Chains A and B, each alone.
Chain A
Amino acid sequence: MTNINGKAYAMNAVTPMKPWKTPILKLVFFLLGAIKPLQNKLIDLSFIHFARWVVVKRGQFPRLASSQPPEDLDYDYLLFFSNFNGTWNQYIDAFSDVLAGGLNLIWRWSEKFPGSIPITPFKRYISLVQFDTDYYYDSYPYAAINDVKAAIRVDDAVRLFAEGSEKLTPAQFQQAYLELLVKVQPDLGAIGPAPVGT
């Protein structure tokens, strides 16, 4: 299934917006980008590698030849592309549970958005506006974003340890090594398989 590569799921969604709402949404995104603490819940969920929202105004679809018919649209469109770990249901459930306010703030400007709570109409809406990926590449498909973050912490700590370790006496080395292990042990767990499910 090309929506999935290893532990990563490529989700695509498109929703229509009345053009007068587009500047409001852009202001929301501007504030989200400028006020970093607003992103904390998204960061804490920690199952998204990369995600993006792209507003395409109705006159902005690329037209590269006169032979290509011009678009004639009443709506602007919000495209959403996410690269997340876990199953589709886990992803939508988690977002609805933890980020309901944020989801509503972004998608309330899209036509017929039912709100992110309750979950059933929200999932129905996402299913309607989602379209499948035809090709998905991941340079580390076996690694969830938590695996990547853990690896970076271990790598940083071990490198720092290695730099000074040769000058230590064996007793000092052992002490420093134990301190290193205490620091990195939460991050040394095996990189397991992807979850099974929908």
Chain B
Amino acid sequence: MPNQSGNVYGLTILSPILDDPTIRISHDTALRIYLEKLPRHEDGPFAKVSATHLCRLVVMDDVVFVGAPAKQEHLQSKYLVFTSNFYGDLDAYLADMAAKIPDVVNDIWSHCVGYPGVRDPKAFAAYMKNCQIETTFFFAAVNDKTVEQTLRALQTKVEFAAFVEENQGRPPAELQAAFSTFWHRLEQLPPLRAGARELTRIRVAGVSGNAP
């Protein structure tokens, strides 16, 4: 299935943008202004749609004229492009968007033709599927991990590297005890926050220290 690679789905949405020459700020401009200010990190909306690995929103003004002898042509509408690379099922993802970030979805897609709102999640999903273009070829370097699994793996890497550094030269029995404490505490840690700007190391307390 071209939209999918393993357990990751490559969603491509083209939503025609409203064109109203009577308003002071056109819908495409208003969208650009809104998107410019929308938080992109752990405080951003897509951090709450937890299946989202990476996504983007793009206002596509027109197609490109590549030069003669190609023909110059133009789109009659501008389009909002939404591409998302997420783990799991499309219906579940769209339902999560409607449930977790309804205000942002409304703020964005209210600029688009035929948008029904999110009050009726099924109508919203049907609208998005009407705007969906099948991805012809989708490549995912890692296609079998959820966002949480990926964040946990990043956390393990960083914390274990620190453990190795801080426990060099320990006698075997002490090392074994230290690792056991480290591992149990690491497993209790909450995962890293999705969208965070930096990977903030949480010291797994009580197990780090210089070798005797």
Binding site for B on A (CB under 8 A): 2, 5-6, 8, 10, 12, 14-16, 25-26, 29, 32-33, 39, 42-43, 46, 48-56, 60-65, 67-75, 77, 79, 81, 83, 110-112, 125, 128-129, 131-143, 145, 147-152, 154-155, 158-159, 162, 165-166, 168, 170-171, 173-174, 177, 181, 184, 187-191
Contacts and interface: CB of A to CB of B under 8 A. Distances in A.
B156 A151 contact: yes
A21 B191 CA distance: 47
B142 A148 contact: yes
Instruction: Pick the most buried of A39, A81, A110, A132: most chain B CB atoms within 10 A of its CB.
Output: A81
A67 B35 CA distance: 26
B160 A188 contact: yes
Given A135-B35, A151-B157, A52 B64 contact: no
A98 B81 CA distance: 30
B139 A50 contact: yes
Contacts, number: 273
B147 interface: yes
B133 interface: yes
A26 to B, nearest CB: 6
A61 B64 contact: no
6 contacts: A62-B133, A68-B77, A69-B76, A134-B35, A138-B195, A152-B145
Interface of B is mostly: mixed
B175 interface: yes
A70 B77 CA distance: 8
Nearest to A77: B63
Nearest to A78: B136
A170 B173 contact: yes
